[in-house]
Amino acid sequence: MHYICVYTGSNVGRRPEYQQAARSLGQELNARGLGLVYGGGRAGLMGIIADSVFTAGGEVIGVIPRDLFPREIANSQVTKLYEVGSMHERKALMAKYADGFIALPGGFGTFDEFFEMLTWSQLGIHQKPLGLLNIAHYFDPLLSLIEHAVTEGFVKDEHARMIITAEDPSDLLDAFTAYTPSNGNISKWSTIPEP
């Protein structure tokens, strides 16, 4: 692994633990010689993790859609900042550079980006590890929803288990290092009706 893509909020959230987790993950990435790929902004938890990696001498790649965000949102303290034309281009370029994907607490954008990469993994488009850094149990309701989708027959248990969860950045990255993809032989569809 060379780069980890991190999805997280452009706000800091209400708990100081979220900010500390962003700093800790940035420090852990740097300690392991891993670069950061992220959304290119300087606001919120996005800015905190980028600053944490960059100020420690690590490599930071930002990808931000031009004309979608005010220019002052873009972070100039990065190794490389790519400006792209759309959110779709942003997600594709981030996925291209990343060797794994982590979501920290965030909002709709974080959910969207993480679930798109999860869906790509489910479909066999990539076989990279995906993790939730479950700080202060932020993702517990989401994990409950995923369990409900499994129970109701909309998600296979094997696909739900592709999501690695941890409360500590070091534990999550250890799990990424030990990750063995298993989604290649698991069909998304339980049954396919006859034509």
Cβ contacts of residue 175 below 8 Å, gap of 6+?
129, 131, 164, 166
Tokens linked to 34: 């891993």
Write down the pTM of the prediction: 0.91
Band of the pLDDT at 174, cuts 50, 70, 90?
A: very high
Confidence (pLDDT) at 9: 94
- Which carries the bigger pLDDT value, residue 181 or residue 58? 58
Band of the pLDDT at 189, cuts 50, 70, 90?
A: very low
Confidence (pLDDT) at 187: 58
Helices (H), 34-153: 44-55, 87-97, 108-122, 140-151
Band of the pLDDT at 71, cuts 50, 70, 90?
A: low
Tell me what the pLDDT averaged over the chain comes to.
92
Confidence (pLDDT) at 139: 98
Which architecture characterizes domain 3-177 according to CATH? Answer: 3-Layer(aba) Sandwich (3.40)
Q: Which candidate, 122, 67, 119, places its Cα nearest to that of 90?
A: 67
Band of the pLDDT at 191, cuts 50, 70, 90?
A: low
Q: Residue 142 corresponds to which amino acid?
A: L
- 174-194 exposure pattern, b = at least 16 Cβ within 10 A, e = fewer: eebeebeeebeeeeeeeeeee
Query: Please, are residues 9 and 110 in contact by the beta-carbon 8 Å criterion?
Result: yes
Taking residue 43's Cβ as centre, other Cβ atoms within 10 Å add up to 17
Cβ contacts of residue 142 below 8 Å, gap of 6+?
111, 132
Query: Please, are residues 54 and 61 in contact by the beta-carbon 8 Å criterion?
Result: no
Band of the pLDDT at 181, cuts 50, 70, 90?
A: confident
Render pLDDT for 55-66 as a digit per residue (tens, 0 to 9).
999 999 999 998
Cβ contacts of residue 177 below 8 Å, gap of 6+?
1
- Which residue in the block uniquely carries the two structure tokens 């030990």? 178
Give yes or no for residue 92 having a pLDDT over 70: yes
Render pLDDT for 119-150 as a digit per residue (tens, 0 to 9).
999 999 999 999 999 999 999 999 999 999 99
